[in-house]
Amino acid sequence: MMDFTGKTAVVTGGSRGIGRAVCLELARGGANVALCYAGNETAARETVQAVEALGANALAVRCDVSDGGQVSGLIDAVLHVFQRIDILVNNAGVTRDNLLVRMSEADFDAVIDANLKGTFLCVKAVSRLMLKQRCGRIVNLSSVVGLRGNAGQVNYAASKAGIIGMTKSLARELAGRGITVNAVAPGFIDTDMTAAMPEAARAAVLAAVPMARMGAAEDVARAVAFLASDDAAYITGQVLAVDGGMAM
């Protein structure tokens, strides 16, 4: 288990799925956990309770990460309670899947705004604090789809591939101040999103996984925690695929 005693982590999209698993993993290491959520207040409260049950401090803030004003409000709220931010995990994201010829401009924009612009806004806000501290860990959630593409997900793949480029660029900008920036690219993970897939589609995707099984949210959370830890102090600009070999 990684030691995050005395550190504060902000996890966007932290109320469910991978985001919740990340919150709990960081809490097990002793971190203060601030999570933001888009609209499911009940799920956010449940995550806060689960974090507190592990003996860690928790805060939930409603925030649309594609809105710069709301992101500023999120950071202010976290600083008011915890005074500092040591770790940022950009997990918030949406999907609006469709084939290119059927995809609306609004659906393309919604995914780019939430996934890519939201990551940019959160990193910009938090990096100012980390630059003053001369230390920090930023972990961005990409996807196997950002590495290899996927039919029907032009918008999602573009956003997740963009996160990889952003990660590498930010790593170069911030390394000199002791700030690492890395990405984790989950594959076929057992979440609410994949549970909603038709059985035939699930079987087709699973057939492309060399390990022949879905991953768990906890698999991704442990990778995120490692990159957020002191053990990864000399790792930056990297993309760690947690996908059972899917993107090889």
At the fourth CATH level, which superfamily is domain 8-187+217-238? NAD(P)-binding Rossmann-like Domain (3.40.50.720)
Residue ranges with strand state E in 2-135: 8-12, 32-37, 58-62, 87-90
Q: What is the pLDDT of residue 210?
A: 95
Where exactly are the structural domains of the chain? 8-187+217-238
- Residues 15 and 62: beta-carbon distance below 8 Å: no
Radius of gyration of the chain (CA): 17
**Residue 195 has what pLDDT?**
76
- Taking CB atoms within 8 Å and a gap of at least 24, the contacts of 163-170 are 163/90, 163/115, 163/116, 163/119, 164/239, 166/116, 166/119, 166/120, 166/123, 166/140, 167/140, 167/142, 167/237, 167/239, 168/237, 170/123, 170/127, 170/138
Q: Is 37 one of the catalytic residues?
A: no
First-to-last alpha carbon distance for the chain, in angstroms, is 28
The pTM score is 0.96
As a dihedral over the C-alpha atoms of residue 8, residue 13, residue 19, residue 25, rounded to 10 degrees, the angle is 10
- Mean pLDDT per 10-residue interval, the chain, length 248 residues: 94 97 98 96 98 98 98 98 98 95 97 98 98 97 96 96 98 98 96 78 87 95 98 98 94
Task: Identify the active-site residue in 4, 108, 156, 188.
Answer: 156
